[in-house]
């Protein structure tokens, strides 16, 4: 079977950053969460998993909650919009 | 200096490697960043114990020594009592994973931080002065929050990780070891922490300081479970110390056993972020005046028991364009203590069935009133009730005191009303101004109310005097204001603060027409008016890509306005200047710690003046993703000096005379190694 290469990679359509969890801010928690999600042909998130924890449940949950609401431009193979996995680094940083 | 993050770093590396295998399926997107201003605090320092450049010690309070606005009152090597902006003991709230711990010892040989090992702690937040009401309650000086490591779940399936370390410190042949293990899967983690430390007497420049050794073991087992959108933690822990010398006090801590159970939930419920916690902490403490020091004519022993039970429910949600924090807190302490003549077995109660219960309620709103402005307003009320049973056992000379005390009602209750307001104005991205005002309340402690006969029990004042409680005390009410500046152009950070604190009904011992066994007037707790003011801050400058300079400075002046006397045991002007040199995996540091003389001493309890001093310390550290190695030399020039807060020697042994200030350690070296896997 001939393999057609991906003609377009996944792009962000609507990806507001997560709100900083107030208690995490109060406790001074910072970190990076890696969220892996399966982008559906309709641009919504399918399966959503934590790829790498920040070490703090508060930040992990805030990242997952935000990504769940995002919309993407799905990947294409030829003319067909396809399912594909992406990995999203979500960083939480406090400004001093 | 990096440390505990190694573990997270190596995990990230592992995750990255495992992704290579499936690279053709997983597309890495551009990172998304969520930022927020650091918590709205006029001043405050967050310490990560594993990153602090200090000699290995099992004493968590030692980490705070160089923090702006903080000092440590010390009566022995493991008895660090936190002083914030000149106020200490119950005036400072110490919160260990949400627990409030009341020392069992009437002289606070076992202050709260005694029960938390540096190796268990992930972060230590020090908030001198005005703190948000959600972190306050029944305290007027500020808050110290210790948080233990939250183990990460194993997202790639069942696994194990851990760390172990050992250290040696030459001033007291101190040996220290600790280990940590975590095992679990994506939903559960079981973790254990254990630490062990032993030390002999401390050597100073001119000899040995008697009665300063210790033995301490601490441990905890904890289960973390992923529950819905949150994390539930159940922890069981213990701390055991033996033969801890306290040469500034009339007795030593010969045995101190503490056990705890803690349950915590952090998560989300609809719009709310929720924190629910409950705990039980029990201390069995025994001290005596003959096991570790030359026995006096009358050998005495004093066992005590302090039991703390508490809960907290805190909620946060978006509201009015900002965040609303609300919470309820409950806390109960039960305290018993007595003294026993070891020869005759005669007993005398110190506390008998004393109880102190507190219920608190707070609401706090944080928002952005205008561009470049942030504000936080808080209101809090606490209800405190104290009671004790009648005194049953007394030595014959105290019979009249017992009758007088038992003849009165002991129940006391107080309602507190606290309020805080904080504003921050960002004049530019590199310049912020901070203003904070507060009213804070603290009710008298059980000792201040119920010390029914003159005893040398004073919550660790260590002034050699005897104190007497007072059933007619009023709560202390503090009105304070703090102004701060936060200037951070590229490569530089300067954060100075000034403050003024007026305390109405400040509680202090004052002489009465009754003499103790040494012929000195007994000091009875009474209400006065006091004021404290001063300045503190920190700075650092990234001079080149490899060199950083920095420092801290703290100054406070405390006066009793009613008597025109100075407040007792206030840290003199003190600070630290350091330079760090980073090269590859190495960080080298040279630092000078210094304190000015303290001549503003309190006359009511014959406080001694102290001279200024400066010492030079050299430190080095090497680290990679698995190993962290540290070493150093403290007090390089072997200077003979004493910290003003270190107390007066009462032990007739060793090379320090009775009545002389207890010196600090002479020149010594230390090494520490830690391995993460």
B574: region left, alpha or beta (phi > 0 left; psi from -120 to 50 alpha): beta
Give the mean model confidence (pLDDT) for residues B434-458: 97
Rg (CA), chain B: 25
Q: B185 to chain A, minimum CA–CA distance in Å?
A: 13
Q: Which of B423, B413, B464, B456 is nearest to B605 (CA)?
A: B464
A53 and B123 within 8 Å at the Cβ level: the answer is no
What is the predicted pLDDT for the residue at B509? 94
Q: Look at the block and give the residue holding tokens 């540091």.
A: B589
Mean model confidence pLDDT for chain A: 87
What is the predicted pLDDT for the residue at B421? 96
Residue of A nearest to B14 (CA): A52
Residue of A nearest to B493 (CA): A96
Rg (CA), chain A: 15
Q: Which residues of A fall within a CB distance of 8 Å from B230?
A: 57, 61
Give the closest of B29, B134, B314 to A88, CB-based. B29
A17 and B34 within 8 Å at the Cβ level: the answer is yes
Per-residue pLDDT for B190 more than 60? yes
The CA distance from B348 to B391, in Å, is 9
Give percent above pLDDT 70 in chain B: 96
What the block records as the tokens of B71 is 């000092």
Per-residue pLDDT of B222-279, as tens digits, reads: 999 988 778 899 999 999 999 999 999 999 999 999 999 999 998 888 778 899 999 9
User: Using alpha carbons only, what angle is made at residue A18 by residues A13 and A19, rounded to the nearest 5 degrees?
Assistant: 140
Per-residue pLDDT for B22 more than 80? no
Please tell me whether residue B278 adopts helix, strand or coil conformation.
strand
What is the predicted pLDDT for the residue at B23? 43
Q: Which residues of A fall within a CB distance of 8 Å from B46?
A: 28
A95 and B36 within 8 Å at the Cβ level: the answer is yes
Q: What is the DSSP letter of B153?
A: P
A10 and B29 within 8 Å at the Cβ level: the answer is yes
Mutate to test the interface with B, among A57, A64, A74 (most CBs of B within 10 A): A57
Give the closest of A15, A61, A86 to B27, CB-based. A86
Work out whether the CA dihedral B22, B25, B29, B33 comes out positive or negative.
negative
List of E strands, B388-475: 412-428, 431-442, 467-468
B10 Cβ contact partners less than 8 Å away, ≥ 6 residues apart: B625, B626, B676
Q: B126 to chain A, minimum CA–CA distance in Å?
A: 12
User: Is the Cβ of A78 closer than 8 Å to some Cβ of chain B?
Assistant: no
Q: Which residues of A fall within a CB distance of 8 Å from B267?
A: 57, 61
What is the predicted pLDDT for the residue at B43? 63
User: Mean pLDDT highest for which of A55-59, B43-47, B230-234, B407-411?
Assistant: B407-411
**8 A C-beta contact, residue A53 and residue B155:** yes
A18 and B34 within 8 Å at the Cβ level: the answer is yes
Q: Which residues of A fall within a CB distance of 8 Å from B231?
A: 57
Per-residue pLDDT of A4-31, as tens digits, reads: 577 889 999 999 999 888 778 877 788 8
Q: Which of B357, B264, B372 is nearest to B309 (CA)?
A: B357
Work out whether the CA dihedral B104, B110, B111, B113 comes out positive or negative.
negative
The CA distance from B127 to B217, in Å, is 28
Per-residue pLDDT for A79 more than 80? yes
**8 A C-beta contact, residue B32 and residue A15:** yes
Q: What is the DSSP letter of B292?
A: S
Per-residue pLDDT for B568 more than 90? yes
Q: Is residue A12 a part of any domain in this protein? A: yes
B19 and A87 within 8 Å at the Cβ level: the answer is yes
Per-residue pLDDT of B274-307, as tens digits, reads: 999 999 999 999 999 999 999 988 999 999 999 9
User: Using alpha carbons only, what angle is made at residue B512 by residues B510 and B514, rounded to the nearest 5 degrees?
Assistant: 140
Give the mean model confidence (pLDDT) for residues B180-186: 93
A12 and B29 within 8 Å at the Cβ level: the answer is yes
B15 and A34 within 8 Å at the Cβ level: the answer is yes
Q: Is residue A1 a part of any domain in this protein? A: no
Q: B602 to chain A, minimum CA–CA distance in Å?
A: 38
Give the closest of A61, A86, A90 to B34, CB-based. A90
Mutate to test the interface with B, among A22, A24, A39, A62 (most CBs of B within 10 A): A22
State phi, psi for B579 to the nearest 5 degrees.
-135, 130
Residue B381: C-alpha distances to residues A4, B127, B329, B384 (Å): 68, 20, 10, 10
User: Is the Cβ of A92 closer than 8 Å to some Cβ of chain B?
Assistant: yes
State how beta strands B32-37 and A11-14 pair: unpaired
Bridge partners of B602?
A: none
A28 and B30 within 8 Å at the Cβ level: the answer is no
The CA distance from B204 to B358, in Å, is 44
Q: Is residue A76 a part of any domain in this protein? A: yes
Per-residue pLDDT of B524-561, as tens digits, reads: 999 999 999 999 999 999 999 999 999 999 999 999 99
Give percent above pLDDT 90 in chain B: 81
**Neighbour count for residue B173 (Cβ, 10 Å):** 15
Per-residue pLDDT for B511 more than 70? yes
Residue of B nearest to A37 (CA): B26
Q: Look at the block and give the residue holding tokens 């993460």.
A: B676
A94 and B38 within 8 Å at the Cβ level: the answer is yes
B150 and A57 within 8 Å at the Cβ level: the answer is yes
Residue B346: C-alpha distances to residues B122, B328, B396, B446, B455 (Å): 46, 44, 10, 24, 16
CATH number at residue A20: 3.30.2420.10
Q: A83 to chain B, minimum CA–CA distance in Å?
A: 10
The CA distance from A33 to A55, in Å, is 8
pLDDT category, B91, cuts 50, 70, 90?
Answer: very high
What the block records as the tokens of B354 is 């004393």
The CA distance from B277 to B232, in Å, is 10
Q: Which of B624, B623, B622 is nearest to B13 (CA)?
A: B624
CATH of the structural domain B5-676, one choice from 3.40.50.720, 3.30.2350.10, 2.40.170.20, 2.40.50.140: 2.40.170.20
The CA distance from B545 to B251, in Å, is 52
List of E strands, B561-667: 565-566, 574-583, 586-595, 613-623, 627-634
**8 A C-beta contact, residue B468 and residue B454:** yes
A61 and B229 within 8 Å at the Cβ level: the answer is yes
Q: Which residues of B fall within a CB distance of 8 Å from A75?
A: 27
Domain extent for A35: 6-92
What is the predicted pLDDT for the residue at B2? 34
Give the mean model confidence (pLDDT) for residues B627-640: 96
**8 A C-beta contact, residue B255 and residue B302:** no
**8 A C-beta contact, residue B113 and residue B82:** yes
The CA distance from B553 to A73, in Å, is 54
Mutate to test the interface with A, among B28, B32, B33 (most CBs of A within 10 A): B32
User: Is the Cβ of A32 closer than 8 Å to some Cβ of chain B?
Assistant: yes
User: Using alpha carbons only, what angle is made at residue B605 by residues B601 and B610, rounded to the nearest 5 degrees?
Assistant: 35
Looking at per-residue pLDDT, the higher value among B37 and B357 belongs to B357
B229 and A90 within 8 Å at the Cβ level: the answer is no
**8 A C-beta contact, residue B180 and residue B193:** yes
pLDDT category, A72, cuts 50, 70, 90?
Answer: very high
What is the predicted pLDDT for the residue at A4? 59
Q: Which residues of B fall within a CB distance of 8 Å from A73?
A: none
What the block records as the tokens of B314 is 């805190």
Per-residue pLDDT for A1 more than 70? no
Give the mean model confidence (pLDDT) for residues B364-380: 92
Looking at per-residue pLDDT, the higher value among B256 and B1 belongs to B256
Mean model confidence pLDDT for chain B: 92
Residue B294: C-alpha distances to residues B105, B290, B344, B464, B653 (Å): 21, 6, 19, 18, 7
Q: How many domains does chain A have?
A: 1
Q: Which residues of A, range 37-66, sit inside 8 Å of B by Cβ?
A: 49-58, 61-62, 65-66
pLDDT category, B31, cuts 50, 70, 90?
Answer: very high
Per-residue pLDDT of B638-662, as tens digits, reads: 999 999 999 899 999 899 999 999 9
Q: Which residues of A fall within a CB distance of 8 Å from B323?
A: 22
What is the predicted pLDDT for the residue at B167? 96
Residue extents of the structural domains in chain B: 5-676
Per-residue pLDDT of B413-443, as tens digits, reads: 999 999 999 999 989 988 999 999 999 999 9
Buried/exposed B115-133: b ≥16 CB within 10 Å, e otherwise:
bbbbbbbbbbbbbbbbbbb
Q: Which residues of B fall within a CB distance of 8 Å from A35?
A: none
What the block records as the tokens of B120 is 């268990």
DSSP secondary structure, B106-125, as one string? TT-SS-GGGGS-GGGEEEEE
Give the number of A-B residue pairs with CB atoms closer than 8 Å: 131
Q: Which residues of A fall within a CB distance of 8 Å from B153?
A: 53
Per-residue pLDDT of B513-525, as tens digits, reads: 999 988 999 999 9
User: Using alpha carbons only, what angle is made at residue A64 by residues A60 and A69, rounded to the nearest 5 degrees?
Assistant: 155
The CA distance from B65 to B54, in Å, is 10
Q: Is residue A40 a part of any domain in this protein? A: yes
**8 A C-beta contact, residue B98 and residue B262:** yes
B19 and A31 within 8 Å at the Cβ level: the answer is no
Residue A96: C-alpha distances to residues A26, B485, B488 (Å): 13, 12, 9
């Amino acid at each position: 079977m001939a393999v057609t290469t991906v003609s377009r990679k996944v792009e962000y359509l609507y990806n507001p950053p997560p709100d900083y969890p107030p208690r995490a801010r109060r406790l001074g928690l910072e970190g990076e969460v890696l969220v892996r999600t399966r982008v559906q042909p309709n641009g919504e998130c399918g399966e959503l998993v934590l790829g790498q924890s920040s070490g703090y449940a508060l930040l992990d949950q805030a990242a997952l909650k935000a990504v769940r609401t995002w919309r993407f431009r799905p990947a294409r193979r030829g003319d067909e919009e396809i399912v594909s996995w992406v990995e999203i680094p979500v960083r939480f940083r406090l400004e001093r | 200096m990096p440390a505990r993050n190694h573990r997270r770093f190596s995990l990230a590396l592992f995750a990255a490697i495992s992704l290579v295998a499936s690279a053709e399926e997983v597309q890495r997107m551009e990172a998304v960043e969520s930022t927020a201003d650091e918590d709205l605090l006029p001043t405050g320092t967050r310490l990560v114990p594993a990153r602090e450049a200090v000699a290995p010690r099992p004493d968590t309070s030692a980490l705070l020594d160089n923090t702006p606005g903080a000092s440590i009152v010390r009566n022995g090597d493991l008895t660090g009592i936190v002083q914030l902006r000149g106020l200490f003991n119950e005036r400072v709230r110490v919160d260990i994973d949400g627990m409030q711990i009341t020392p069992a010892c009437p002289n606070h040989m076992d202050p709260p931080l005694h029960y938390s090992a540096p190796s268990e702690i992930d972060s230590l937040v020090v908030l001198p002065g005005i703190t948000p009401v959600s972190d306050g309650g029944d305290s007027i000086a500020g808050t110290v929050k210790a948080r233990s490591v939250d183990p990460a779940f194993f997202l790639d399936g069942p696994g194990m990780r851990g760390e172990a370390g050992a250290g040696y410190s030459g001033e007291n042949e101190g040996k220290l070891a600790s280990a940590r293990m975590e095992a679990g899967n994506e939903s559960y983690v079981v973790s254990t922490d254990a630490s062990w430390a032993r030390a002999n007497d401390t050597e100073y420049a001119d000899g040995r300081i008697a009665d300063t050794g210790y033995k301490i073991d601490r441990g905890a087992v904890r289960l973390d479970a992923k529950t819905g959108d949150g994390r539930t933690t159940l922890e069981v822990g213990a701390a055991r110390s033996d033969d801890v010398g306290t040469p500034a006090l009339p007795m030593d801590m010969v045995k101190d056993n503490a056990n705890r159970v803690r349950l915590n939930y952090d998560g989300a419920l609809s719009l709310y972020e929720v924190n629910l916690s409950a705990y039980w902490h029990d201390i069995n403490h025994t001290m005596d005046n003959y096991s570790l020091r030359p026995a006096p004519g009358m050998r005495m022993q004093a066992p005590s028991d302090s039991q703390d039970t508490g809960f907290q429910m805190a909620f946060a949600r978006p509201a009015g364009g900002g965040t609303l924090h609300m919470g309820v807190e409950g806390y109960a302490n039960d305290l018993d203590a007595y003294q026993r003549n070891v020869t005759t077995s005669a007993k005398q109660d110190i506390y008998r069935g004393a109880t102190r219960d507190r219920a608190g309620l707070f609401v706090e709103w944080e928002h952005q009133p205008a561009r470049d402005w942030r504000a936080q307003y808080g209101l809090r009320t606490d209800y405190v009730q104290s009671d004790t049973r009648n005194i049953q056992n007394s030595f014959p000379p105290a019979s009249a005191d017992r009758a007088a005390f038992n003849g009165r009602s002991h129940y006391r209750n107080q309602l507190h009303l606290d309020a805080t307001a904080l504003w921050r104005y960002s004049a530019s991205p590199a310049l912020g101004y901070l203003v904070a005002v507060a009213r804070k309340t603290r009710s008298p402690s059980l000792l201040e109310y119920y010390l029914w006969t003159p005893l040398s029990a004073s919550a660790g004042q260590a002034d050699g005097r005897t104190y007497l409680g007072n059933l007619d005390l009023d709560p202390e009410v503090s009105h304070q204001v703090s102004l701060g500046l936060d200037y951070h152009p590229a490569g530089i950070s300067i954060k100075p603060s000034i403050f003024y604190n007026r305390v109405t009904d400040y509680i202090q011992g004052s002489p009465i027409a009754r003499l103790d066994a040494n012929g000195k007037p007994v000091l009875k707790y009474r209400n006065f008016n006091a004021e404290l003011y001063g300045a503190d801050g920190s700075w650092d400058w990234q001079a080149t890509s490899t060199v950083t300079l920095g420092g801290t400075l703290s100054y406070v002046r405390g006066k009793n306005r009613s008597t025109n006397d100075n407040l007792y045991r206030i840290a003199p002007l003190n600070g630290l200047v350091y330079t760090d040199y980073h090269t590859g995996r190495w960080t080298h540091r040279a630092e000078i710690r210094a304190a000015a003389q303290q001549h503003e001493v309190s006359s009511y309890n014959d406080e001694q003046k102290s001279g200024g001093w400066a010492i030079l310390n050299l430190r080095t550290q090497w680290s990679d993703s698995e190993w962290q190695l540290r070493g150093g030399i403290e007090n390089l020039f072997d200077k003979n000096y004493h910290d003003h807060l270190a107390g007066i020697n009462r032990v007739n042994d060793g090379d320090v005379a009775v009545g002389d200030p207890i010196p600090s350690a002479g020149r010594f070296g230390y090494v520490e190694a830690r391995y993460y896997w």
